[in-house]
Structure 1
Amino acid sequence: MTMLPIVAHASPEDIIAWVHGRPVSVRQFLADASSLADALPAGRHVFNACTDRYRFTVGLCAALLAGKATLLPPSHTPEMVRQLADFAPDAFCLHDQPDAAFAMPAFHYHDGLRGAATDGPVEIPQLAATQVMAYVFTSGSTGTPVPHRKTWGAMARCAQAAAQRLGLLDGRAWTLVGTVPPQHMFGLEATVMLVLQGRAALVAAPAFYPADVRDALASVPAPRALVSSPVHLRTLVQSGMAMPPADLVLCATAPLGRQLAGETEALFGAPLCEIYGSTETGQIATRHTAQADAWTLVPGVRLQARQGDGGDTETWAEGGHIEQPVSLGDAIAPLDAGHFLLHGRKADMLNIAGKRTSLAYLNHQLTAIDGVRDGAFFMPDDAHEGDTHGHVVRLVAVAVAPGVAPAQLQQALRARIDPAFLPRPLLFADSLPRNAAGKLPREALAALVARLAGAHHGDSAARPAFVIDADHPAIAGHFPGHPIVPGVVLLDHAVLALGAALGRRLAVTQAGAIKFLSPVTPGERVEILHQADAAADGGEIIRFTLRSAGRDVASGTLQVRGAAPQAGASAC
């Protein structure tokens, strides 16, 4: 039986993590994993919801030591958690937040579970290559998440091949800073498995906002690598914030454009390596995106062309860490035995903000809601998964739901699908233009969406809009040389412009779910898309999206009092 070590570091004194600025040795890590393994409940399946990357990794290894499989769903919505419980009735949730609430038994990973590291020799645990490490779920096309079984051997060999390709086995102590969560396949491979099998160290704290990334990189020694996605990289580039130098940038989850790759390399002073793979295959190829279009397969992996059931040629990946041949759902043009060009998705799979799902899954969740007779999600032609500039993708949904309030339907969707896939806008129709076979042609749905969106928002020229000039007092000192409009100024002008368009002053009592998605520079025209629903207290709930130059820059919800105040108001 083939056995593989749980960590590949050369010494128990090697650093495997940085937690709150302090180094954690392999010795301490193994003690933490052993202590947690002894404390875990009896269930054989662990839903690892830890937000701290170190605790997630300790939890993953503790589950391995205890012979338990880790469940990694694509989202943590109540519906997804319910489906996890259906898949594994004995599952429990491992979490590190005291207020975490999931509809299954839970176990809190707290500071009191820290292991007691001892002096002397350390025995590195060996795990059978055939042991099931995790079930990584994709959304599926029927509404039921599809589990993909991952053995320790496949995941460890994949990480070893990646570490070799990326140059992490050069004898230096690398540290990996990640903006992607460890629960998703790329985050699992590139910020957890690369650490365990590439002799590197991880940074525990989440690094999501530009200041987080800056501080995380500055807090650890070189060599250091940033693991990120196109959406995050675009935000970092446009933030105008200086970044500490890195030695390598890794990117995956969606196609990356050459321009953004070059801008990222200039920002961090480091080469950017893009990774191609999938949940089913793991990482299988890399490319230096700023300089080349061709992908290079990782050691041991091969591509094979096979005839599909419909007569089309399909590309299959096999060899290396891939235990069984896998059909790739992409259009691939082989160049030679080790290189290929990628021409995009074949089917309806979506990647938004590093999260993957399918239109079929979203449609199933929409039509499963009480009161919805029919419905469909739609991806506009000008906003799709292939956006190589990292723009935030926004889906549209059309529902046939007589008597169901928009706010009620939105709330039901939030319980079923990840927030990244919530439709903006959600439109309503009397019926969908299905054909005699019950199918919904894309062109017919596109025409319906265009008509409904035009009636919902009005012509773009008539939308509420505003421009914030460069001489606005809030601009001074706000990133000199790269001026950016502060978010509070955007919100203030949006409220006043929206009130002017509606013919009344808006008395905002609460602003919720405010997200600033892309920087706005002085002089940009910002349009306001909105949908108003009646609130139970007689006021309104206004959902809005701010858009500039074809991209979403902010979104949120305003709770508005029924009677506006008498005093006038002016923009800040």
Structure 2
Amino acid sequence: MTSFPIVAHATPDDIIAWVHRRPVTVRQFLADAARLAAVLPAGGHVFNACTDRYRFTVGLCAALLAGKPTLLPPSHTPETVRQLLAFAPDAFCLHDQPDAAFAMPALHYHDGLAAIAADGPVEIPRIPAAQVMAYVFTSGSTGTPVPHRKTWGAMAGSARAAAQRLGLLDGRAWTLAGTVPPQHMFGLEATVMLVLQGRAALVAAPAFYPADVSAALAAVPAPRALVSSPVHLRTLVQSGVAMPAADLVLCATAPLGRQLAAETEALFGAPLREIYGSTETGQLATRRTAQEDVWTLVPGVRLQARPSATGDDTETWAEGGHIEQPVPLGDAIAPLDAQRFLLHGRKADLLNIAGKRTSLGYLNHQLTAIDGVRDGAFFMPDDAHEGDAHGHVVRLVAVVVAPGVAPARLQQALRERIDPAFMPRPLYFADRLPRNAAGKLPREALAALLATLSSTQDRAAAPPPGFVIDPGHPAMAGHFPGHPIVPGVVLLDHAVLALGTALGRPLAVAQASLLKFLSPVRPGERVEVLHQSEAAADGAETIRFTLRSAGRDVASGTLQVRANAPQAGALPC
């Protein structure tokens, strides 16, 4: 029976992780995995929701040792969890957050589960190649996530081929830091499997904010690599935060423009390798985007042209190497030779945003499933990828027919059903959608409707108003020293000022209500102010606002604004 070792490191004293800036050896890692495997609940499937990358990886390997497949859904919304249980009723959740609340049995992975590693020889467990390691889910067009079965042999083979292509098997001890979560395919492959099978080490703490990325790289020895996505790289480039030199940057999840690739290489002083692949196939090819358009296949993988099902076109299939069965690719590919090709974009409606994958069909299903919604559709502009040729970020748009449904309630209902990365901005309301006699919604007709709504509602293409809180702001003094967080009152005051500037008048706020501070904001981060306003008959106004930073909602609320505001606006804190 073919098998692969659970780790490929040369000795048990090699470093496999950096946790709180301290090295963790293979010896300790294997002890932690064995200890956790022994206390896993009886359920047959593990929903691994650990946010700490080390604990996620220990949990993944513990599940392998226990013979339990890991479930990796596209999001962690209540609706997704319900669908996950429909697929695997015996599933339980492994998490590392004390306040985590999932509607299924759970095990909290806390510090008390750490093992004491013994000295002496260590036997590296070998996992059968045919053993199912995970089911990675993509968003199905019918609203039900589609599982993709991943065996240990396929995942280990893919990681070894990628490590060879990327030069990680050069005898040096590489360390990989990532901005992408390990629960998603690229994060799983590039920050977990590359570590296990590429003899590298991972950085445990999530690195999302620019300051966190800088600190994570600075805390580990060279050679070091950053694993990221186009939207994260754009944030890093625009942040103004100095970055330590890296030896490699890996990027995937959406098309990356050459300009952004070049800016990233300049920021880190390192080559950037873009990775092409999919959940179905794993990693297929790489290129140095700042210098070339051509993709080169990873070792062992081949492309084959076959007639399409309709017979009026050809499809490209991937096979060989780590791919267990030939897989059709939903992209327009122009082969140059047996190993190189040009990629001309997707054929279907698949979306990749911030390392997360879904489809327009799934989003439309979730939108129209909301109570009170008669019809609705998401729309992806032609340049809606995370990183287009100029590195711009364009968000999804949606239009809905929902008479009598308040915008805030609809947004909240949608937020409970889909991942925040796919929330539409803006969300328009219409009397009807321009469907044809067959009930279909032509893309051109939907685009025309959205153009009309945009013009009517004065939705400009310019970036939303925003602000940046300087690290030297007086409110920062003594506020979480060493890990400064902008106080909520400062965010609110600057949001009011930014809204007044955008509306061309100072705002006299009579009341602020429904305030929610959803995620911490650090000094130096740009905060965007998104808003919707409703005028009253007496000239007063209700403004619903959402504050966003680095692709996430950080705060929201409602302002009641008096009419005839005085000319002297309030000064920010």
Aligned to 1:248: 248
Q: Match of 1:76, SS?
A: coil
Question: CA contact under 8 A between 2:95 and 2:107: conserved in structure 1?
Answer: yes
Aligned to 1:213: 213
Deviation at 1:569, TM superposition (A): 3.0
Deviation at 1:126, TM superposition (A): 0.7
CA distance in 1, matches of 2:559, 2:531: 13
- When residues 513 and 96 of structure 1 are mapped into structure 2, their CA distance, relative to the original with a 3 A threshold, is closer
- When residues 52 and 464 of structure 1 are mapped into structure 2, their CA distance, relative to the original with a 3 A threshold, is closer
Question: CA contact under 8 A between 1:230 and 1:388: conserved in structure 2?
Answer: no
Question: CA contact under 8 A between 2:127 and 2:152: conserved in structure 1?
Answer: yes
Question: CA contact under 8 A between 2:180 and 2:354: conserved in structure 1?
Answer: no
Question: CA contact under 8 A between 2:366 and 2:418: conserved in structure 1?
Answer: yes
Deviation at 1:234, TM superposition (A): 1.3
Aligned to 1:136: 136
CA distance in 2, matches of 1:466, 1:2: 56
- When residues 70 and 406 of structure 1 are mapped into structure 2, their CA distance, relative to the original with a 3 A threshold, is same
- Quick check: 264-273 or 133-142, which moved more? 264-273
Aligned to 1:194: 194
Aligned to 2:305: 305
Question: CA contact under 8 A between 1:496 and 1:505: conserved in structure 2?
Answer: no
Query: Aligned pair 1:451/2:452, yes or no?
Result: yes
Q: Match of 1:444, SS?
A: helix
Q: Match of 1:153, SS?
A: helix
Aligned to 2:545: 543
CA shift digits 1:275-297 (9 cap, x unpaired): 11000000010111111110010
Aligned to 1:151: 151
Aligned to 2:437: 436
Deviation at 1:501, TM superposition (A): 4.8
Amino acid at match of 1:174: W
- When residues 458 and 158 of structure 1 are mapped into structure 2, their CA distance, relative to the original with a 3 A threshold, is closer
**Gaps spanning 5+ residues in structure 1: where?**
476-485
- When residues 67 and 389 of structure 1 are mapped into structure 2, their CA distance, relative to the original with a 3 A threshold, is farther
- When residues 357 and 519 of structure 1 are mapped into structure 2, their CA distance, relative to the original with a 3 A threshold, is farther
CA distance in 2, matches of 1:91, 1:389: 43
CA shift digits 1:125-177 (9 cap, x unpaired): 01100000000000011100000000000000000001111111111111101
Q: Match of 1:452, SS?
A: helix
CA distance in 2, matches of 1:529, 1:76: 25
Aligned to 1:419: 420
Aligned to 1:481: none
CA distance in 2, matches of 1:23, 1:151: 29
Question: CA contact under 8 A between 1:466 and 1:497: conserved in structure 2?
Answer: no
Query: Aligned pair 1:160/2:164, yes or no?
Result: no
Question: CA contact under 8 A between 1:172 and 1:223: conserved in structure 2?
Answer: yes
CA shift digits 1:63-102 (9 cap, x unpaired): 0000000000111111111100110000001000000011
Aligned to 1:263: 263
CA distance in 1, matches of 2:459, 2:332: 38
Deviation at 1:456, TM superposition (A): 2.6
Q: Match of 2:497, SS?
A: helix
Q: Match of 1:457, SS?
A: coil
- When residues 13 and 426 of structure 1 are mapped into structure 2, their CA distance, relative to the original with a 3 A threshold, is same
- When residues 303 and 368 of structure 1 are mapped into structure 2, their CA distance, relative to the original with a 3 A threshold, is same
CA shift digits 1:302-340 (9 cap, x unpaired): 000000012211000000000010100111000000000
Deviation at 1:406, TM superposition (A): 1.2
Query: Aligned pair 1:224/2:224, yes or no?
Result: yes
Q: Structure 2 matches for 1:478-557, cutoff 5 A?
A: 491-497=495-501, 501=505, 504-505=508-509, 507-508=511-512, 510=515, 512-513=517-518, 530-532=531-533, 540=542, 542-543=544-545, 557=556
Question: CA contact under 8 A between 2:139 and 2:357: conserved in structure 1?
Answer: yes
Q: Match of 1:212, SS?
A: helix
Q: Match of 1:424, SS?
A: coil
Question: CA contact under 8 A between 2:168 and 2:198: conserved in structure 1?
Answer: yes
TM-score with structure 2 setting the length: 0.89
Question: CA contact under 8 A between 1:83 and 1:145: conserved in structure 2?
Answer: yes
Q: Match of 1:191, SS?
A: helix
- When residues 378 and 466 of structure 1 are mapped into structure 2, their CA distance, relative to the original with a 3 A threshold, is closer
Question: CA contact under 8 A between 1:515 and 1:554: conserved in structure 2?
Answer: no
Aligned to 2:362: 361
CA distance in 2, matches of 1:466, 1:110: 39
Aligned to 1:380: 381
Amino acid at match of 2:497: H
CA distance in 1, matches of 2:356, 2:466: 33
- When residues 503 and 54 of structure 1 are mapped into structure 2, their CA distance, relative to the original with a 3 A threshold, is closer
CA distance in 2, matches of 1:119, 1:527: 53
- When residues 338 and 382 of structure 1 are mapped into structure 2, their CA distance, relative to the original with a 3 A threshold, is closer
Amino acid at match of 1:283: Q
Deviation at 1:188, TM superposition (A): 0.3
Amino acid at match of 1:62: A
- When residues 32 and 263 of structure 1 are mapped into structure 2, their CA distance, relative to the original with a 3 A threshold, is same
CA distance in 1, matches of 2:519, 2:244: 29
Amino acid at match of 1:560: L
CA distance in 1, matches of 2:174, 2:80: 35
How many residue pairs get aligned? The number is 549
- When residues 355 and 458 of structure 1 are mapped into structure 2, their CA distance, relative to the original with a 3 A threshold, is closer
CA distance in 1, matches of 2:136, 2:498: 41
TM-score with structure 1 setting the length: 0.89
Using the aligned pairs only, state the percent identity. Answer: 74
Aligned to 2:107: 107
Question: CA contact under 8 A between 2:506 and 2:569: conserved in structure 1?
Answer: no
- When residues 242 and 148 of structure 1 are mapped into structure 2, their CA distance, relative to the original with a 3 A threshold, is same
CA distance in 1, matches of 2:519, 2:26: 41
Amino acid at match of 1:557: S
CA shift digits 1:35-78 (9 cap, x unpaired): 00000000110000000000000000000000000000111111
Question: CA contact under 8 A between 2:182 and 2:192: conserved in structure 1?
Answer: yes
Deviation at 1:103, TM superposition (A): 1.1
Deviation at 1:428, TM superposition (A): 1.4
**Gaps spanning 5+ residues in structure 2: where?**
475-489
CA distance in 2, matches of 1:455, 1:317: 47
CA distance in 2, matches of 1:569, 1:81: 47
CA distance in 2, matches of 1:506, 1:499: 17
Question: CA contact under 8 A between 2:499 and 2:529: conserved in structure 1?
Answer: no
CA shift digits 1:504-528 (9 cap, x unpaired): 546445464579899999xxxx997
- When residues 156 and 514 of structure 1 are mapped into structure 2, their CA distance, relative to the original with a 3 A threshold, is closer
CA shift digits 1:2-50 (9 cap, x unpaired): 0110000010000000000111000000000000000000011000000
CA distance in 2, matches of 1:503, 1:120: 70
- When residues 77 and 333 of structure 1 are mapped into structure 2, their CA distance, relative to the original with a 3 A threshold, is same
Question: CA contact under 8 A between 1:238 and 1:519: conserved in structure 2?
Answer: no
Deviation at 1:356, TM superposition (A): 1.0
- Superposition RMSD on alpha carbons, in Å? 3.2
Aligned to 1:53: 53
Amino acid at match of 2:159: A
- Quick check: 28-37 or 422-431, which moved more? 422-431
Aligned to 1:321: 322
Deviation at 1:561, TM superposition (A): 4.3
CA distance in 1, matches of 2:402, 2:55: 44
Question: CA contact under 8 A between 1:252 and 1:276: conserved in structure 2?
Answer: yes
CA distance in 1, matches of 2:443, 2:63: 45
CA distance in 1, matches of 2:241, 2:169: 31
Amino acid at match of 1:198: G
CA distance in 2, matches of 1:299, 1:207: 30
CA shift digits 1:210-253 (9 cap, x unpaired): 11011111111111111111111111111222211111111111
- Quick check: 388-397 or 76-85, which moved more? 388-397
Question: CA contact under 8 A between 2:36 and 2:59: conserved in structure 1?
Answer: yes
Deviation at 1:399, TM superposition (A): 1.2
CA shift digits 1:356-380 (9 cap, x unpaired): 1111110001111111111111122
